Amino acid sequence: MEARDALRATAAVAGRAATLKACGILAVLFVVGLLVLGLIGATAVKPAAADACGGRGTPGTDLEDLEDLEDGKPSGGGLSREEQKANAKIIDQVAEGGGLSGRATLIGLMVALQESSLLNLDHGHADSIGLFQQRPSQGWGTREQIMRPKYAASMFFFGDDDGDPRGLTDVPQWESKDVRTLVREVQRPDASTLDLYVVQESLARQIAVQAGIDLDRKGTAAPAESAGNPGPPVGNADRPQSREECYPDTDAKGGKPGNPFYDGTAAWPASVKNPRSAEDAIRWARREAETGGKDWYRKCLAFVAIAYGWNFSGVHYAVDHYKTMPASMKHDKDRNPPPGALMYWETGGRAGHVSIYLGDGKIASNDISRAGYIDVVDATDIETQWGSTYLGWAPPYFPHGG
């Protein structure tokens, strides 16, 4: 009996071991399968890239979630919340100018977010383009007209003069109707996608707050006379529109003083070599803003040099650092700096000012919010709060740094 019991015990242990081994193998195969599926899914949902007046994006997404990459590098196009806010303001101005309520603006923002991520795209399904993905072939206007945000918004709200295509205000009693009904009447999407427009409300309200838009505004009885007239076409339909044509109130380099800054895509020249990369410098600057001390009073040039890993810049004044840059590196008045660029201002004093551009219209700057500290602020604050004159941007080039 004892011998047989021993044999049974041995067989049972061996059986359990075999079972555990098999289960282990199956578990490993299951995990590997999940990883493969994850990798496939990750590569399958890359946002579409398309050059446009306003930037790049994927319908129905927030800019903060986009990973618009080509070969592992940013493909550019001015992605930023500032771009969304600029377009939101245009939509609101058209609505308010036409005597429409804040609810009309909210609906316009929700639709534009779902259609284009509130970006002025020059691509889409079939020949759809612009903020509202309107189609030239369906009577919404010429390509160059639709690529003007003001025109596109006017067509969305008021439609064509003959009622085809119809706009929001062409829908009887539109103020009392739900968003799904209005979208179906104006945009005419697939019925299965109507809920996608509705879920944009939270983000639309968030952007409206950031853009200073009053969504509680009451409508007026008499719309402005010019509200339904989008204006004559501009530009050439056979080429991409310039920012100046898309946004007539800005200059060709991205805007007038006080206007937002947008992310550019220019690469650094090969001669620009620093102990820290742009990504690491930005990360260091943000950390200094969060946890740093009162060490930077009137030390803007020292701050950007140290952010890039140097002990000193080798130049006395920020304004001189810019003026002595090689001509090929200076981008005078250009409001489209790439993240990591150095931005320069004349302040009325000898030294001038320099900050590091973080992206999305933000800079890390000393003394702007708290004397001696680093803070992350809008790049426009140097102009609007200090009254300084923007000189331009340059790559982080420190030939005399050490």
> Which pairing describes strands 69-70 and 73-74: parallel, antiparallel, or unpaired?
antiparallel
Nearest CA to 400 out of 311, 295, 270 is that of 311
pLDDT per residue as tens digits for the range 133-154: 999 999 999 999 999 999 999 9
Q: How far apart are the first and last CA of the chain?
A: 85
Cα angle, residue 332 at apex, residues 331 and 334 outer, rounded to 5°: 70
- Residue 340 sits at φ, ψ, to 5 deg, of 100, -15
Strands (E), 63-134: 69-70, 73-74
Contact 274, 281 (CB under 8 A): yes
Q: Is 81-246 a CATH 3.30.750 domain?
A: no
Q: What is the rounded distance in angstroms from the CA atom of residue 78 to the CA atom of residue 376?
A: 19
- Residue 196 sits at φ, ψ, to 5 deg, of -65, -30
Residue 363 β-bridge partners:
357, 377
Looking at residue 256, its pLDDT comes to: 57
Looking at residue 238, its pLDDT comes to: 42
Q: Is 278-394 a CATH 3.30.70.890 domain?
A: no
Helix (H/G/I), strand (E/B), else coil: 16:
helix
Looking at residue 232, its pLDDT comes to: 40
Q: What is the rounded distance in angstroms from the CA atom of residue 159 to the CA atom of residue 88?
A: 19
Looking at residue 157, its pLDDT comes to: 94
Q: What is the rounded distance in angstroms from the CA atom of residue 119 to the CA atom of residue 58?
A: 9
Q: What is the rounded distance in angstroms from the CA atom of residue 363 to the CA atom of residue 340?
A: 9
What global pTM score does this model have?
A: 0.45
Looking at residue 195, its pLDDT comes to: 86
Looking at residue 79, its pLDDT comes to: 46
Q: Which two tokens stand for residue 276?
A: 């820290």
- Which residues fall within 8 angstroms of residue 352, CB to CB, at 6 or more apart? 317, 318, 319, 320, 322, 344, 345, 346, 391
Residue 134 β-bridge partners:
129
Q: Which two tokens stand for residue 86?
A: 């600029």
- Residue 355 sits at φ, ψ, to 5 deg, of -140, 165
Looking at residue 33, its pLDDT comes to: 54
Contact 107, 185 (CB under 8 A): no
Element (H, E) at 145: helix 143-146
Element (H, E) at 194: helix 194-198
Looking at residue 29, its pLDDT comes to: 55
Which amino acid does the sequence have at 250?
T
Helix (H/G/I), strand (E/B), else coil: 357:
strand
- Which residues fall within 8 angstroms of residue 346, CB to CB, at 6 or more apart? 319, 352, 388, 389, 391
Count of alpha carbons within 13 Å of 300, Cβ hemisphere only?
Answer: 29
Helix (H/G/I), strand (E/B), else coil: 390:
strand
Where exactly are the structural domains of the chain?
81-246, 278-394
Q: How many beta carbons lie within 10 A of that of residue 183, not counting itself? A: 23
Long-range residue pairs from 369-377, CB within 8 A, at least 24 positions apart, any chain: 370/294, 371/294, 371/297, 372/294, 372/295, 372/296, 372/297, 373/289, 373/292, 373/293, 373/294, 373/296, 374/285, 374/288, 374/289, 374/292, 374/296, 374/303, 375/289, 376/286, 376/289
Q: Which two tokens stand for residue 201?
A: 């409300």
Looking at residue 348, its pLDDT comes to: 77
Give me the residues of the chain with pLDDT under 50, please: 1-14, 16-18, 20-23, 28, 31-32, 34-79, 221-241, 244, 249-255
Contact 114, 173 (CB under 8 A): no
- What interhelical angle do 102-116 and 201-211 show, nearest 10? 110
Query: Which DSSP symbol is given to 169?
Result: G
